[in-house]
Amino acid sequence: MSKEPTYNHEPWMDNGACRKSQHDPDWWFSNDTTVIRHAKEICETECTVREQCLEWAKRTRHKHGTAGGKTPEERKASRYV
């Protein structure tokens, strides 16, 4: 069962690499560093909406899971750079 939180859906979200059926949604909400690295690689290499996703995650202060190729900790740190 996915740990994906509830959020306001935006149309671009349907185009995310994380939405492809061959990818397990739980990968983006894992605590395992190997799985997190895999999810981030998919974001970087396959996702056509990565930048929109990252901006959305920063704007909404999304606290769960990898979004836009960044973990919550990475997103939080980038707000202060």
Q: What is the pLDDT of residues 33-80, one digit of tens each?
A: 999 999 999 999 999 999 999 999 999 999 999 999 999 999 988 876
Q: Specify the number of domains making up the chain.
A: 1
Q: What range does the domain containing 60 cover?
A: 49-81
Q: What is the pLDDT of residues 62-73, one digit of tens each?
A: 999 999 999 999
Q: Is 57 within the bounds of a domain?
A: yes
Residue 26 binned pLDDT confidence (cut-offs 50, 70, 90): very high
Is the model's pTM score more than 0.85?
no
- pLDDT, mean of residues 13-42: 95
Q: Is 78 within the bounds of a domain?
A: yes
Helix (H, G, I), strand (E, B) or coil at 67: strand
Q: Is 23 within the bounds of a domain?
A: no
